[in-house]
Amino acid sequence: MEHHETINQLMTEHGTRVLHLAYSYVRNRQTAEDLTQEIFIKCYEKLNTFKGDSSIQTWLYRIASNHCKDYLRSWHHRKIHVSHYLSSLLTGSQASPEKQVMGQAENQELVDAMFQLPMKYREVIFLFYYQECSLKEISDISNLNINTVKSRLTKAKNLLKDHLIERGENDGEPNQESKRKSVKGRIG
């Protein structure tokens, strides 16, 4: 298969997921779209370096993750305020308008909580839950020991639970036990 055919296939199969991954780093749709284009250009240029030691998806996500981290360290990012939300990318359709509104509110609350996490925890949560990467794939993408990935994932889940429970307490919700069960159900 030629390079352009391989890249077209990668873009078709993984384009939306790479966009979501980029968005999880930068929190701005336009910037994420620009980064996604740059990521696929970089993949095209480096396709001959793919050795097959991992899956093509893991290789692609590692390039995407590193490219986004480079962007976050760049002057351009430090000078621009990012303030959009991931929920528009992540909300799915539900049966009724009521359920859709409730689901969007819960998703937004969870997304807001995720964005409060430090990057090292946000990255593993996003790759695990939204990109559905295995622990091994996250280890390969982030260049971390698998035990470090496991501990960060556990810490991130605990931080999310704490944040969501605390938020419920601050909202004056009368039944905190139901809130704790709801949070536990959403995070695992």
pLDDT on residue 174: 47
pLDDT on residue 97: 46
Closest CA to 120 of 95, 154, 96: 154
Q: Within the chain, which residues score under 50 in pLDDT?
A: 79-103, 174-176, 179-180
Phi, psi of 123 (to 5 degrees): -60, -50
What is the spatial distance between Cα 144 and Cα 129, in angstroms, rounded to a whole number?
A: 18
pLDDT (tens digit per residue) in 173-186: 544 455 445 555 55
pLDDT on residue 179: 47
pLDDT on residue 181: 52
C-alpha distances in Å from residue 187, one per residue of 2, 62, 164, 179, 183: 42, 25, 10, 12, 6
pLDDT on residue 50: 87
pLDDT on residue 146: 93
pLDDT on residue 74: 77
pLDDT on residue 52: 83
Domains defined for the chain, CATH in brackets: 3-79 (1.10.1740.10), 91-187 (1.10.10.10)
CB 60 within 8 A of CB 18: yes
pLDDT on residue 73: 80
pLDDT (tens digit per residue) in 136-179: 999 998 889 999 999 999 999 888 888 877 776 555 554 445 54
DSSP calls for the chain: --HHHHHHHHHHHHHHHHHHHHHHHH--HHHHHHHHHHHHHHHHHHGGG--SSS-HHHHHHHHHHHHHHHHHHSHHHHHS-----THHHHPPP-SSHHHHHHHHHHHHHHHHHHHHS-HHHHHHHIIIIIS---HHHHHHHHT--HHHHHHHHHHHHHHHHHHHHHHHHHTT-S-HHHHHHHHHHHH-
pLDDT on residue 182: 53
pLDDT on residue 42: 93
